[in-house]
Structure 1
Amino acid sequence: MASCATAFLCNHAAALTSPYSPRKTRTSARSLRSSLRPTTITAKQDQKTALQYRKLGDSDLEISEITLGTMTFGQQTSEKEAHEILGYAFDNGINILDTAEAYPIPMKKETQGLTDLYIASWLKSQPREKIVLATKVCGYSERSSYLRDNAKVLRVDAANIRESVEKSLKRLGTDYIDLLQIHWPDRYVALFGEYCYDPSKWRPSVPFVEQLKALQEVVDEGKVRYIGVSNETSYGVMEFVHTAKVEGLPKIVSIQNNYSLLVRTHFEIDLVEVCLPQHHNIGLLAYSPLSGGALTGKYIDSNSDAARKGRLNLFPGYMERYNKSIAREATIKYIELAKKHGLTPVQLALGFARDRPFITSSIIGATSVNQLKEDIDAFLSTERPLPAELAADIEDIYKRYRDPTLF
C-alpha cells in the first residue's frame, strides 16, 4: 500500500504541474497593473523545459516554481557574482527573489545588509514591476540589536516592523515590498534543528493581534503588499489566520519553512492540512530543498574540494545537523537511489521538492552561475512527475530515516 504522502502526491500532482495562464496582476502597492510573468517565458513553451507558475496563497502574485535565494550575497558571493546570478535566474524564468534584513547568513554586524545592497544595484537596471521581491523582518533576538537604532532586543512589534521595513526599502532602493515575512516567531518555538518543543523555554510574546496591526500599518501606507510567516508552526499559522479574520486584519498568504528529503515530518504531519487551499490557502515557500547542499553529496567525501568550500565547513557549527552520522547515512541512501534511477543527487532532491503538491515554490540559492544553472537544469530535466517506482523507493528510505537531521 502506498504511503499517505505518496497517495497525496499522486492525487494532486496533475493539478499543480500545469502552469497558470498569463494574467494581469497588480504589481505595486499603488495598484499599478502589469504582468508578473517574465518576458522570457511564454505559454507556448514546452511544459517540460520551462518553469511553471503558481498563485501564492490568496495573493494576486503568480510566482515561478523556483524562488531565488540570496542569503550568500555579501558573504560567499561578491556583488559581481550576485548580479550574474540574478541575471541568469530572471533570464531563465524565475520571477521572485527572497532576501531578509538579516542577510547574509551567518549573521554578523560587519556584513549585515550587503545582500540587499547587491540586489539594489542590480534592480536599478530592471523593470521593477516584473520582479516579485520578498524580504523578512527578524523575530525575537537578544543577539542582533545592531539591526535597530535603539533596541537591545528585537521584537515583532510596531516599532521594530516599521524600522525594519523602512531600512529594507532604503537598502533595496524600492518603494514597496511584494511580500514581507516574519523571519521567525516572536514567541519561543523549536527552531533550526531543535527536535521538540521545550515548555520551560516559554516566554511572554507580542500578541498576534499587535503583530498584525503593525503589519496592517505598513500595508495601508503602500510599503508592503502582502504578508507571510517563516519557520512557523501550525499553532502560529492558525492564530494568525483566526486573528486576521476576527479583527479584520491582513491575512498571511505564505509560509517559508524548511522542507527536503531530509526534513519532511514537521510540515507534512499537520501544516499541510492547515495550509491546504481548501482550508486556509497559504502557499509554502520551501527553503533548503538541498539541505544546505548536503543532498548534492559533496560532503560525503570530506576531503574533496567541494566539501572544503561548502558552507558546512566554511562556517563551523553552521547547519551541522545535515552532516551528522544518521543524516549522512540517509544522504548516501538517496545518492544510491538517484544512481539506480539514472539521476544525479541534485535531480532527485529537486525533482522531489518540485513535485510536492503543497509546495508553491522551492527556494534555491547558489554561490555561482554554474551552480544555479545545474539546479535549474535539474529542476526542469527530471521527469515530471517522478516515476511511481522512484516515488515508492523514496518513501521506503523515508520510513527508515525519518527526518534524520533531528537525531
Structure 2
Amino acid sequence: MSNKIDESYRIALSHISVAAYDGDSFKKRMELRNKLKTLTFDGCDAFLSAVRTQGGFFMITEDVSKNGANSRRRQLLRVGGGMFGIPFFGSSSENSDAQAATPPKQKGQTGPTNEIVKIVNGMKRRRLGGSDIFVSELGLGTQRWVSTDFNAPDKDLCFQFMDEAILKRGVNLIDTAEQYPIPSDGKRASEGDTERVIGDWMKDRKVPRSDVVISTKITGGRNVTPRNIQKDCEDSLKRLRTDYIDVYLLHWPQRYSPQSNWGQSLKYNLAYDTQSRKLLGDPTSFEDLCLAMEKLVQQGKIRGWGLCNDNAYGLTACSRTAKMLGTTPPCTMQGDFSILDRKSEENGVAEAASPFWENTGFMAYNALAGGMLTGKYLEIPAALDDPDRTRAMATQARPRGRMDERGWGGTLYRYRSEPAQEAILEYNKLAKANKMSLTELSLRWCKQRELITTTLLGHTSMDQLKESLDFLTRKEDLSPELMWEIDRIHMRNRLPIFSSYHVGKDWYGEGEIGEPIP
C-alpha cells in the first residue's frame, strides 16, 4: 500500500465505533473530517474497506470536500450515516476481499422485534424490540385498578386477575404508570396506588421476579428531565417493591407534539410550540433523554425503555440519537391501536418500528376502543349521546361502562363519533356473519397485525379477563379472506375516530391533550 492508503486505514481504524457524544469524541470526529479532506480517490477506497472489514461505524456531519474524489466521499457519507451515525450492515460489490466480516450487533439489539421466542400455557411470547425482553401477546392494562371509577377492580380482584393471567395462563406482562390509577381523588385512591398493588401481589404470592415483565411510565411533558427520570424511576421501584423495572416509558413526549391519539387536530402548531418554549423553556433534548435512560440501564434499575403516545418522528429521533451516542435505544412504542384506529400503520410508525429500521416493539392499548368494540352500546347509545334523555338518565344511574359516565364519556367521545359508530355497525355485521362476537373479531384482528408485539387490556371482571385470554390463545388466525373484508370496511371508514362532529364544541383542538381526564 502507498503511504496515503496506509494513512487511510489508520484513520478509519482509530475512529471506528466513536459514538459517545462528549468533548473527546467530538474532537476526534472533527479531526477525522479534516483528514478525509486530504484523501485521494484510492485513499477513500481504503477508508471504506477498513470500515467494512472492522464492521464498525463512524460519524460525519457534513460533506468532507467540495472537490476531488467527490463520489467516494459521498459514499463515505452514506456509509457513515450522515447526522446519526448509522451502522454499516453490508458491503458493496467493490473491494470484495473485505466483505467477509460481519458487523457486531448494536448495543441493546439481540434479535428482530416481534419474534416468537416461546409459548407458555398457549400464550405466545414475543421479543420486544431488539431487546432480550420477551412479552406475552396479552398484557394486563392497569389504568383503572383501584381507581375511583364506579366499576374499578378493587385490590382483591386485581390480585385475582394476576393470579389467573400470570400464574395460570402464560401472561407475563403488566403495564402500569406512576400516574395510575386514573381517576384518583387523593383520598380513596392516590397516584401510585396501582404500582403499590402490583408490588404487594408479587410479595404476597412470592412470585419470582424474572417471571413478570413490568412496564411503568414517568409522567410526560416538561416533567421529563434527567433529574426526574432518575427520581421518578426510584420512586416507582419503591412502590413496586422491586430492584429493577423491565421497561421504563415516557407517558407522553417530553416535547410539544400533536396528540392525535386523543382525537385532536393532526396539525403541528408552530405558534403553540414557540409560545410554550417561551413560557416553559426548551424541552429536554433527545441526547439528554437517551443519556438519562442509559444511566438507569447501567445502574441496573431498568432493562429497557420506550415511548408512549409519540409519533414516527419521536421514535426515530430517540432511536437514532441513542445509536449516535452508543446508548441503549428504545425497545418499544406504546400507543392507541384498534380496528377503529389504525393510524400507526399508516403514519410512519410501523415503518420506523420495522426490524429493518429502528427494530422497535409496539404495545397496543384501547384495542376495544373504550368498550365500544364490545358491542354493549349497539342497541342503546351511550348516555351522553342518547336523544332519549329519560332513558339516558336511567343509564347514567346504572352505567354499563365508562361511556355512560359524564367523566370518561366526555373524554372518550372520539370512539363514539358518528363515523366511528357507522364503522362499528359494519364490523359487528361482519363478526356475526363469521359466527363470532365483535370483541372476538377486534382482539384477534389486533393480534395478527405485523406492528403489534402485545395488546394491553384492562378488565373489570374475571369473566372479561378469561374471555380475552381465550380469544388470544385458543383460536387460529383469522382467514386472509376475513382480514381482507376488514380492510374493505376500513377503506370505507378510514380512521373514523379522527372525524368529529363536535369540533369547536368539546375542545379547542390546538393539537395538545385537551380532552378532560376525570
TM-score norm. by structure 2 comes to 0.65
Which secondary structure does the structure 2 equivalent of 1:243 belong to?
A: helix
User: 1:353, 1:362 within 8 Å by CA — same for their partners in 2?
Assistant: yes
Counterpart CA distance in 1 for 2:468 and 2:311 is 29
Q: Which deviates more, 294-303 or 81-90?
A: 294-303
User: 1:189, 1:197 within 8 Å by CA — same for their partners in 2?
Assistant: no
- Give 2:155's aligned residue: 79
Counterpart CA distance in 2 for 1:54 and 1:305 is 41
Shift of 1:347: 0.8
Shift of 1:233: 0.8
What is the CA deviation profile of residues 139-195 of structure 1, one whole-angstrom value per residue up to 9, with x for unaligned ones? 11xxxxxxxxxxxxx421112112211111111111110110111001111221113
Which secondary structure does the structure 2 equivalent of 1:196 belong to?
A: coil
Query: Is 1:197 paired with 2:267?
Result: yes
Which secondary structure does the structure 1 equivalent of 2:429 belong to?
A: helix
Which secondary structure does the structure 2 equivalent of 1:359 belong to?
A: coil
User: 2:345, 2:451 within 8 Å by CA — same for their partners in 1?
Assistant: no
Q: Which has the higher contact order (CA 8 A, sep 6+)?
A: 1
Taking a change above 3 Å as real, the CA distance of residues 95 and 187 of structure 1, as seen in their structure-2 partners, is same
Counterpart CA distance in 2 for 1:332 and 1:341 is 14
User: 2:306, 2:332 within 8 Å by CA — same for their partners in 1?
Assistant: yes
User: 2:252, 2:310 within 8 Å by CA — same for their partners in 1?
Assistant: yes
What is the CA deviation profile of residues 275-305 of structure 1, one whole-angstrom value per residue up to 9, with x for unaligned ones? 0012111001111111111111112223697
Tell me which amino acid in the other structure corresponds to 2:117. Y
Task: Give the aligned length.
Answer: 354
What is the CA deviation profile of residues 305-363 of structure 1, one whole-angstrom value per residue up to 9, with x for unaligned ones? 79823122233412121112221111111111100111111110001101111211111
- Give 1:310's aligned residue: 401
- Give 1:98's aligned residue: 175
Shift of 1:248: 1.6
User: 2:113, 2:361 within 8 Å by CA — same for their partners in 1?
Assistant: no
Shift of 1:211: 1.1
Shift of 1:375: 1.2
Counterpart CA distance in 1 for 2:265 and 2:342 is 13
Query: Is 1:20 paired with 2:117?
Result: yes
Counterpart CA distance in 2 for 1:405 and 1:389 is 25
- Give 1:31's aligned residue: none
Counterpart CA distance in 2 for 1:108 and 1:250 is 37
Counterpart CA distance in 1 for 2:136 and 2:265 is 31
Q: How does 1:145-294 map to 2 (within 5 A)?
A: 154-191=222-259, 192-199=262-269, 200-202=271-273, 203=277, 204-294=282-372
User: 1:56, 1:253 within 8 Å by CA — same for their partners in 2?
Assistant: yes
Counterpart CA distance in 2 for 1:121 and 1:285 is 25
Taking a change above 3 Å as real, the CA distance of residues 279 and 198 of structure 1, as seen in their structure-2 partners, is closer
What is the CA deviation profile of residues 199-242 of structure 1, one whole-angstrom value per residue up to 9, with x for unaligned ones? 23214321111111111222221111111111111111111111
User: 2:141, 2:174 within 8 Å by CA — same for their partners in 1?
Assistant: yes
- Give 1:329's aligned residue: 422
- Give 2:130's aligned residue: 58
Q: CA RMSD in A?
A: 2.1
Counterpart CA distance in 2 for 1:183 and 1:18 is 25
Which secondary structure does the structure 1 equivalent of 2:263 belong to?
A: coil
User: Which of 486, 490, 493 pairs up with 1:398?
Assistant: 490
User: 2:115, 2:127 within 8 Å by CA — same for their partners in 1?
Assistant: no
Q: How does 1:368-407 map to 2 (within 5 A)?
A: 368-384=461-477, 386-407=478-499
Which secondary structure does the structure 1 equivalent of 2:132 belong to?
A: coil
Shift of 1:106: 3.3
Tell me which amino acid in the other structure corresponds to 1:291. A
Q: Percent identity?
A: 34
Shift of 1:122: 0.6
Q: Rg larger in 1 or in 2?
A: 2
TM-score norm. by structure 1 comes to 0.82
- Give 1:89's aligned residue: 165
Tell me which amino acid in the other structure corresponds to 1:20. V
Counterpart CA distance in 1 for 2:177 and 2:184 is 11
Gaps of 5+ in 2: 1-111, 382-390, 500-518
User: 2:128, 2:134 within 8 Å by CA — same for their partners in 1?
Assistant: yes
Counterpart CA distance in 2 for 1:233 and 1:159 is 24
What is the CA deviation profile of residues 75-111 of structure 1, one whole-angstrom value per residue up to 9, with x for unaligned ones? 1110001101111111111011100001112365442
- Give 2:459's aligned residue: 366
- Give 2:220's aligned residue: 139
Shift of 1:403: 1.1
Counterpart CA distance in 2 for 1:293 and 1:406 is 17
User: 2:113, 2:129 within 8 Å by CA — same for their partners in 1?
Assistant: no
Counterpart CA distance in 1 for 2:141 and 2:370 is 12
User: 2:316, 2:352 within 8 Å by CA — same for their partners in 1?
Assistant: yes
Tell me which amino acid in the other structure corresponds to 2:265. Y
Q: Which deviates more, 130-139 or 185-194?
A: 185-194
Counterpart CA distance in 2 for 1:219 and 1:185 is 20
Gaps of 5+ in 1: 1-14, 22-36, 42-49, 141-153
